[in-house]
Structure 1
Amino acid sequence: MTDTTDPVPLAQALIRCRSVTPADDGALDAMEAALRPLGFTCTRLRFNEVDNLFARRGTEGPHLCYAGHTDVVPPGDEAAWADSPFAAVIRSGMLYGRGACDMKGGIAAFVAGLTDYLDANPSHPGSLSLLITGDEEGPSVDGTRRVLEWMAQNGHTPDMCVVGEPTSKAVLGDTIKIGRRGSMNAWITVRGKQGHSAYPQLADNPVHRLTRVLHALTSTPLDQGSEWFEASTLQVTGIQVDNSATNVIPAEARAFLNIRFNDKHNSAALTAHLEAVLAEHAPDHEMRVQVSGESFLTEPGPFVEALRRAVERSTGVTPKLDTGGGTSDARFITHYCPVAELGAVGATLHQRDECAPVAELRALAGVYRAVIEECLR
């Protein structure tokens, strides 16, 4: 081993796997090939059509787990990319390819930092593990959540977990995410009575009822935020009325909502709120709700402080603790152990010509080595 392991070759190998959710295309094989020589016991876990990997070195505590995903979103029009999205081309100091930013580059950086740590600490205290899923960008049903259940059943529940999502905003290490807002969707159908628009007294316009519902839901904020979270938001993401005639009052009207909520709410209470407003303005209705995840928070404490020290040691940057953005697999991990997210700058995730600076990936490897050192003291 060298003093500094370069994460770029592994990042390129992973990017060259066309692992668009839920395909694997050899990405987990590449991970196993990197981890087995380091003394990790690797277990492949397939749930339905999703491949996952759990790898662990050591049996004692403290147990630090790194969680990430090798699946990626579709590249879109591949001909519009400057290079093939799966070619892993390096140009002008940038590594290009789908997953370079989110998050194959981050996974490779962790393995590089891990390699350097083990080179210097072959008899390290505690345990190290990696939970790598192929189902983060998809439905998130047969990935991290199922692996965590297996880990709990087999004595592998970690004491703390770092999720390697690209959380930095402007410079590497400027942000550590210690929580996320919850997310839920609602599909609402309001029924009325169809009729001629010239005789509205003989009909019951569901569009009018629905607009009163939406006005009631959007005119008053859900809250003003909390200590660690910004204000919750309710967004109307769609309205649909299947009516091609201009002189007909329709029988039904539909709306679609997305709610991002902080720790002042849970999905059950918000569902009850929606039902109460509907009952008042549109008694004849149906509603379907899907919850992507509840809000969660890892309170600042020894684990979060260890991550902060690691970033400051490695980069000189003092990270901000943050809970913004969408959801991540940390929403599942929080039920098992303290979890926080720390990764690269997410400037091009899910974009055409997604890329990551080679120098940043190498610096991130140093951050992750410091994280291990701080957490396994």
Structure 2
Amino acid sequence: MAALFEDVEDNIFRNRDVLTEDYQPEDIYNREGEIEKYEETLQPVVKGQSPRDIITYGNTGVGKTVVTKHVLGELERVMKERGQEDELHVVHHNCNSNTVFSVVRALVNELRGPNEAEFPRRGLSVADAFDALYEKIDEMGGRFVFAFDEIDHVADSDTLLYELTRAKSVGNITNEESAITVIGISNDLNFHNNLGAKVAGALKEREIVFEPYDALDLQKILNKRATEALFEDAYDEGVIQLCAAFGAQDKGDARQGIDILREAGEIADRSGHAVITTADVEAAKERVERGRVRKNMRTLTEQAKMVLTATAYLDINDRTPARTDDIFDAYNTITEKITDFSQLTTKKSINNHLNDLSMMGFLIKYERNEGRAGGTYNEYKCDYDAEAVIETISDEFGIDIE
């Protein structure tokens, strides 16, 4: 048997980690204004005071998380240089498809030391989790900055925000030296509008909005990443331009462009080629899009998946934007193919899922107003690759959707 791995060479990648989601670039392109707003808002921490909460908005892949981590890292560095590292505690948590209980549990376990028992997954309530968090905050003292990525994906985010923003004023935190600041990062531009009145009143936040990158922005970002990640002769400007164009089509998404560049490099590498071609980029785009659809659909309930699939089915048949009645009919047609599937029976249930799916970015909602004669109503269209949605559900449930 031939020896394994001995003939492995890398003609494409100098450092492929630069193209991963976890990579934190030292230089952040074209976000100076957003960084300045973060710094202005968080300056009171350095002075031993409590800053305002922050809600950050913008589409996926426009730098919200990268900028937040960069600014908080700089804040931690400054506090450490001043000998005040014990006065600041930063926790960054991704809330994708989380419950309030799982989010608070994660905060507790992050703050507990390595020799302390983890807060259990089961057997205790949300109130127990909050009590454990407040107890730990009182014990540690200092300023606590909780950054919640994709906060709009938390089931009942109102409860999470209402509890944390009022914790000190209502006496749940008793240590005079302790205080909580919340940073919420949301892909939903209407997130604040969807909060309950009590929460909106308690949340005295500063809003920071990240505008989408254009194709030129994305080219500069991708060129910088490519210089660090790829060998100089492994790509040309045409490859970068195409990756940037695909990212620009997807709401100015730098993450999408970077993922496509990485996948294109891996396709070329697996083929034994020394140069990435535009054909590799085209193939990579399809793989990345399908992978993203599958990954994000895993966060949905079965009912939500079927409502999304019904909309995708109408999409590929050129019948969107579609009203709830048409989506309901398509939903029934598709779910009848699945043995023992418990179908939704009311339009209200379908409407609830449609609203949730549009809020999470799976669907685009169009609000129509036809006056007295036609009234007001909503129509929906898939905001993901409809064919990839159909393919995902066909594979998961073993059905043909035509």
Larger helix share, 1 or 2: 2
Same fold, TM-score > 0.5, yes or no: no
**TM-score, normalised by the number of residues in structure 2:** 0.23
TM-score, length-scaled by structure 1: 0.24
In proportion to residue count, which structure has more strand? 1
Higher relative contact order (CA 8 A, sep 6+): 1
